[in-house]
Structure 1
């Protein structure tokens, strides 16, 4: 079995609402990043400036409305151990009453990048839980590096 980062959250919002936070640039930016270009269709661009100088890039691979989104991921910084499109983020959304269970699997990462990406996804999905549930996650102060 290939090692992967797995992060799960229960979000007090419908699948359609949660799905929209991964496919609409303005909604994406309400929980992660400062600039985003999302063309949520297979082969469409995924590009997002996280905070200041970290740009993630890839392309959408699979878009199944309200239930699953798969896109490639990597960093544009020269010499990055995770270049654009070199890893894959697979998000599944499952209804749980009026809420949604989200499961994010990030695979294809070098082992030395697991901890950093795990911290990042945990931080941002915590922000998504608040935002998709109708709250304001506040300014993104980032997360501790250690």
Structure 2
């Protein structure tokens, strides 16, 4: 069995869980902090599709495995045309925990194939969770310029 690499992040968001959940599942709200086009069907087996910004314009595709409104999301993830992380090859799990008058978002991205991909996805998550925190609290994170990666 090959080794799997994992990215874990936590961020505190000064917004209710229902608001944060909407920013993770509603395509219009997703686009306020990530991507150029989004399609989501937030139910087990439903589609997760996000076209990223930038010159590559890659699309991330997966399927929802678990959807517990305002509490938890789990969906497969990968890049269309991606050799190292193809669609559905990794798993993103997000838990929303009520804490300090807001929401603690705890994210685990598992199933990444190597250290380079884990580092690239860690950089992406740091960038996008910061943007999510701004958007979910009513701020404007500005245009999404993506994350520059060599991957």
How many Å separate the matches in 2 of 1:134 and 1:27?
A: 11
Aligned mates of 1:141, 1:31 — CA distance in 2:
10
Runs of 4+ more than 4 Å apart: none
Q: Which runs of 5+ in 2 are unaligned?
A: none
Shift of residue 145 of structure 1? 3.6
- 1:125 aligned partner: 129
Secondary structure at the residue paired with 1:108? strand
- Matched residue, 2:112: 109
Shift of 1:115: 0.4
Structure 1 spans left out of the alignment, 5+ residues:
none
Count of residues paired in the alignment:
145
Distance 2:4 2:86 in 1: 19
Provide the residue aligned with 2:102 in structure 1.
99
Paired with 1:3 and 1:63, the residues of 2 have a C-alpha distance of 24
Match of 2:139 in 1: 135
Aligned-residue offset at 1:2:
5.5
Q: How much is the aligned-residue C-alpha RMSD, in angstroms?
A: 1.5
Aligned partners of 2:5 and 2:118 also within 8 Å: no
2:112 alignment partner, SS class: coil
